[in-house]
């Protein structure tokens, strides 16, 4: 069994020398921008096929008029989830060795659904315009994904990323980091799939009909929880930046980016950056002095007010082992507002149980071992 490629959603750009003949045969929603002269055709058969549990790619054809610097361009963008295409779900993970089979399946699906005949060689050589690297982390001990998300939310990510926005969605089941150069998501895979059975509007996953059987199987095994970690590179500039950061060739062709070495390096690079920013004083310190020193070492820019609040709350929680006891103590001695102020001003370090879960994520990404639903729902 090979190492996993850890790729989910991808956008492939197939170029033509002229408008392809097949465009006249397919049902498409077309538009021509009067100002720019750009012609767009969207070809999407998912509404028809997802009712029978068959996943198909979405096609966006774009013609851009000639300019003084370039000839007229003809590009077909193929957007799809590779695991859903190959397995019918994106729980199971692809290996490097499966690349020829994936390309062959894509070739067949395009031919059978849309009547497109794009050679396997052309697909493999096409440039990638967007790619999402992802990893499902399997816990079989009922570890709540919310505790992992809460611990990750403690990270001082603004010191690592130029953050535009962070948000929680679906009751805290999804934590999303929007930055200038990258999008990162950590979410409860099982909860997201269950939500999609009701409505896709608020879910990460779309076209979930092909995964209904997976959801029903997972519901039989409440011990299994699945946090999912995703790095989303939404344009070529971002992809090249990441390739450079992990010392990989900036080759954007499909066959090059379908790589366990590249995907693993990118995922681990960002997970480690987040993990390093999570305060861990509670695991390594027992006294006020140890906690203060540990906090300052972990975050040299931390102000005294936050460090002292975190130290006090860490010691009180260690002693009380119960948040209600801590709250009652502070409110009885001072006021409700003082407890709220202390709580809001302190990023409570994760517990030892949370740390164990976070370390398991590190180990899982590092191991690069593919997972399959059959391994966990026997």
Torsion, Cα 55 56 57 58, to 10 degrees, reads -110
3-class secondary-structure state, position 55: coil
284 pLDDT higher than 60: no
349 pLDDT higher than 80: no
252 pLDDT higher than 80: yes
pLDDT-based confidence at 367, cuts 50/70/90?
confident
> Of the segments 34-48, 151-165, 226-240, which one has the largest average pLDDT value?
226-240
pLDDT for residue 24: 87
Given the structure tokens 């906690």, which residue do they identify?
Answer: 291
Torsion, Cα 274 279 280 285, to 10 degrees, reads 160
172 pLDDT higher than 60: no
Q: Within 10 Å of residue 73's Cβ, how many Cβ atoms?
A: 15
Torsion, Cα 26 89 6 241, to 10 degrees, reads 40
Tokens matching residue 26: 């397919």
Range in 103-107, 192-196, 283-287, 353-357 with the lowest mean pLDDT: 283-287
Report how far residue 58's alpha carbon sits from residue 81's, in angstroms, rounded to the nearest whole number. Answer: 10
Q: Phi and psi dihedrals of 250, rounded to 5? A: -85, 35
Q: What DSSP letter does each residue of 233-254 carry, written as one string?
A: E-SHHHHHHHHHHTT-----BH
Tokens matching residue 117: 């005949």
**Of 89 and 11, which is predicted with more confidence?**
11
Torsion, Cα 322 326 329 333, to 10 degrees, reads 180
**Of 196 and 13, which is predicted with more confidence?**
13
Q: Phi and psi dihedrals of 35, rounded to 5? A: -75, -50
Q: What is the percent of the chain with per-residue pLDDT over 70, rounded to a whole number?
A: 83
Q: Which of 256, 240, 264 is nearest to 99 (CA)?
A: 256
């Amino acid at each position: 069994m090979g190492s996993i490629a850890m790729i989910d959603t991808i956008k492939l750009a197939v170029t033509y020398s002229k408008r392809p003949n097949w465009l006249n045969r397919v049902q498409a929603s077309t538009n021509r921008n009067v100002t720019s002269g750009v012609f767009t055709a969207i070809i999407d058969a998912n509404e028809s096929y997802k009712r029978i549990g068959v996943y198909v790619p979405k096609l966006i054809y774009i013609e851009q008029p000639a300019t003084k610097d370039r000839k007229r361009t003809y590009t077909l963008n193929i957007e799809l989830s590779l695991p859903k295409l190959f397995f019918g779900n994106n729980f199971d993970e692809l290996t490097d060795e499966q690349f020829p089979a994936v390309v062959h399946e894509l070739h067949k699906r395009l031919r059978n659904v849309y009547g497109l005949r794009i050679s396997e060689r052309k697909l493999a050589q096409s440039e990638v315009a967007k790619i999402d690297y992802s990893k499902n982390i399997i816990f079989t001990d009922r570890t709540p994904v919310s505790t992992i998300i809460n611990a990750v939310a403690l990270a001082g990510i603004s010191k690592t990323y130029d953050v535009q926005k962070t948000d929680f969605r679906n009751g805290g089941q999804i934590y999303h980091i929007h930055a200038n150069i990258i999008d990162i998501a950590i979410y409860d895979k099982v909860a997201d799939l269950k939500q999609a059975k009701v409505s896709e509007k608020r879910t990460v996953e779309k076209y979930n009909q092909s995964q209904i059987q997976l959801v029903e199987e997972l519901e039989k095994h409440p011990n299994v929880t699945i946090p999912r970690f995703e790095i989303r590179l939404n344009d070529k500039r971002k992809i090249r930046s990441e390739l450079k950061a992990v010392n990989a060739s900036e080759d954007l062709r499909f066959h090059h980016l379908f790589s366990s070495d590249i995907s693993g390096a990118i995922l681990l690079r960002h997970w480690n950056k987040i993990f390093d920013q999570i305060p861990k004083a509670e695991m390594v310190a027992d006294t006020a002095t140890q906690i203060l020193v540990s906090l300052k070492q972990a975050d040299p820019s931390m102000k005294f007010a936050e460090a002292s609040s975190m130290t006090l709350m860490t010691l009180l929680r260690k002693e009380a082992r119960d948040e209600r006891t801590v709250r009652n103590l502070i409110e009885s001695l001072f006021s409700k507002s003082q407890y709220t102020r202390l709580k809001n001003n302190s990023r409570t370090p994760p517990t030892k149980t949370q740390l164990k879960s976070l370390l398991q994520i590190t180990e899982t990404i590092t191991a690069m071992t593919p997972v399959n639903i059959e391994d966990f729902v026997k």
